[in-house]
A and B are shown apart, each in its own frame.
Chain A
């Protein structure tokens, strides 16, 4: 069937072509002259907003996008300026960043690491983004943070609560404003002890990925330290939408407390299932059955409706906080979009402003300059009260809120009430804490790319 007709001429020709083909790549090793990846040269600078627009965290993602657009408006001097007026660093003047007008591109992470990286890569390679912000899943955040480190751009994490993001997976080019699982546990434990006693038996349902694992580990450690027992821990896939098969076994397990290490659509569904099964009406071991949701958000509270009444959890920020920065942000967001911001919106807004401010102070878009400006930076006026960006792991340290589902909401946004504001000192930990990668975890070197 095949005819082999190797002629001298044919072999020579093929050899030459193959040789040329092999030699071809060597001309690509030459690098362009830019000092760092995507150095903005024109009158504009592009930021990349990579948020989940589909998948279990889509609600959060869309709210983040609104906040990011608001931040860009404020940076460009449009609107009322929002937190630019209350931010303690006065480097930003409302004329863009370093005089360059801020533009942005958006992408859909689909709450999948692969898709998120593809989307971030296209922002970096095609649109020339100097900073990637957003994300609403720790799996995605860790994956995109790794990419940004390799590519030489800054990653300002959005909603990511896993200890790993600034723990064992910490990166020099990545920064997190949001709080983390350890902080949630540290803030929740004293309140739980006060309200539920110190001899509870807890059953954990955990989303099966980095965030769920560290969240569960942190809560288990904190609650066991105050005398609770852990009955068991069951992992549930992130893509699950029906949790009834996971709820039924709880009834016969002898547990009197359910800890839902779930977030977004997962938590709405699992909590709804749990309430439908009548868990909250049960009495086990002579105690009322209780449910805890360690990480709360307004969007989840709204989605779960009636079911969250009385359920305890923690938050990074709540629009009901009374301080100057919070008031300015809520007013600005509310006037533009007709609703109060969620805590994921606030963290993304703050991250964009913090990045812009760091560039102004550093006087350059070079990631290494930005890293230097952000490390050890202390600020206030963005809504969370006094905050420190710790140099050792690029984690923000600020007060953590313990909240409860409101028993008698006065309006549709008043779904959560603040139980306690836990001071930053109480939730702080050493950078080499064993839950954060121990002594092995290191930021590595800053990478400007190019």
Chain B
């Protein structure tokens, strides 16, 4: 289908089904139950899953295929957001021009940054990108935001004001980002028994975009261009000796992944019309590296899983406070209850980083291939249960 082989088509269909039915899948618990705490099916978080999914897919094209570890990708996310919010401020709340401009501007920056950074490889490349991103952050955070010349509005974040020009805005259109009149905040709540599911227009826009870029990423992975990128990762010197210059290929991969980041940034601003400098900070760049490694570097679906995993922790675990814990363990005797809450307390609420850190260590140590490897092992284990031991032994191992 669509020029994909059977395995990739299946993967694309699985992703499509998962994203389209996410409102159901992410809200497995009835709205009034104590477990509703773990429901993630509300518009803001679903949008975040998909937006960061796009961001991580793009990052994986660079890191997973060429092996160039960029520590500055958050800069493109931020640039995309600022570009989109400026379109909202100056022209129109329609998200289409905003997102397109976000991609273009981010690509231009990626071209400049990649051109310089790709002259070095390995750790030097990483440091160069980190330095660039921190420069962008400093520019956005303070240099380009002072009372006299305010491009980014610094700490507060760039937002749309009622007195902004918005040349193509007219009465009748929503005062929020919209797609030809359909507000990105429009949500239809479906109540089935005790369950409640939200279908949000903004989420579905992001989901459709993600499916398109996911398809693109599959095509890149399977193309001769993708093969070239893999060659850069496996042995760049050999590539040089065969008479090929790897730099144009690496630069193309860098710009593509920058454009993905810009797209994610633009969509992020389209879902919530505010662009803050923090999303460009080096911690944000590190986050996308974590997402990719956690999910599985170089795999197609891995980065999306990793993004979902991290965003889930950030938004769900950080909201479990002591009151909630006491409610859960109310059945225990008083002393025991306080003790259990005391033990769990450092790992939830503001301590969610700690839990995530431990899980990340476990994944990296025991599943170096990320969550995807975990899934594969699980699949193999289920398959091999029925079969006898001998079939495994008879398998021929390829020699390295």
A contacts, CB < 8 Å to B: 1-5, 10, 14, 21, 24-32, 53-54, 104-108, 112-115, 117-119, 121-122, 125-126, 137-139, 142-143, 146-147, 150-151, 164, 168-169, 208-210, 213, 217, 235, 237-238, 440, 442, 444
Contacts and interface: CB of A to CB of B under 8 A. Distances in A.
Contacts, number: 134
Contacts of B182: 25-26, 28-29
Interface in B14-51: 39, 42-45, 48
Contacts of B154: 139, 208-210
A237 B154 CA distance: 10
Contacts of A54: 350
A39 to B, nearest CB: 12
Contact of A113 (B2, B163, B278, B321): B278
A114 B204 contact: no
Contacts of A117: 272, 274
Given A29-B186, A32-B189, A108 B315 contact: no
Contact of A107 (B175, B185, B188, B319): B319
A108 B188 contact: no
B41 to A, nearest CB: 9
A341 to B, nearest CB: 20
Contact of B162 (A112, A126, A444): A444
B146 A235 contact: yes
A121 B1 CA distance: 39
A210 B156 contact: yes
A170 to B, nearest CB: 11
Interface in B265-285: 272, 274, 276, 278-279
6 contacts: A2-B219, A3-B3, A25-B201, A122-B319, A139-B155, A146-B159
Contacts of A32: 188-189
A258 to B, nearest CB: 21
Given A1-B222, A105-B319, A237 B142 contact: yes
B325 to A, nearest CB: 12
Contacts of A4: 3
Instruction: Indicate the member of A104, A137, A150, A169 with the most B CB atoms within 10 Å.
Output: A150
A28 B224 contact: no
Given A28-B182, A168-B161, 14 more contacts: A1-B222, A5-B3, A25-B179, A25-B182, A29-B186, A104-B323, A112-B276, A112-B278, A114-B274, A137-B155, A138-B156, A146-B159, A210-B154, A210-B156
B350 A10 contact: no
Interface of B: 1-3, 39, 42-45, 48, 141-142, 146-147, 154-157, 159, 161-163, 175-176, 179, 182, 185-189, 198-201, 204-205, 208, 219, 222-224, 272, 274, 276, 278-279, 315, 318-319, 321, 323, 349-350
B157 A10 contact: no
Given A21-B208, A108-B318, A440-B163, A139 B142 contact: no
A192 B21 CA distance: 64
A173 to B, nearest CB: 13
A179 to B, nearest CB: 19
A442 B315 contact: no
B200 A118 contact: no
Nearest to B211: A21
A213 B146 CA distance: 8
Nearest to A30: B188
A208 B142 contact: yes
Contacts of A14: 2
A5 B1 CA distance: 8
A2 B274 contact: no
A302 B147 CA distance: 33
A238 B189 CA distance: 40
Given A125-B44, A147-B272, A209 B155 contact: yes
A5 B186 CA distance: 39
Contacts of B141: 208, 237
A30 B190 CA distance: 11
Nearest to B3: A2
Contact of B48 (A112, A118, A142): A118
A222 B157 CA distance: 28
Contacts of A27: 188, 199
A105 B189 CA distance: 22
Given A27-B188, A122-B44, A139-B155, A113 B276 contact: yes
B278 A115 contact: yes
Nearest to B224: A1
Nearest to A49: B321
Contacts of B142: 208, 235, 237
Nearest to B48: A118
A25 to B, nearest CB: 5
B118 to A, nearest CB: 25
B222 A122 contact: no
Given A1-B224, A21-B208, A208-B154, A28 B272 contact: no
A108 B319 CA distance: 8
Contact of A143 (B156, B176, B349): B156
B1 A126 contact: no
Nearest to B176: A150
Contacts of B219: 2
Contacts of A217: 147
A113 B156 contact: yes
B204 A113 contact: no
Contact of A122 (B42, B199, B323): B42
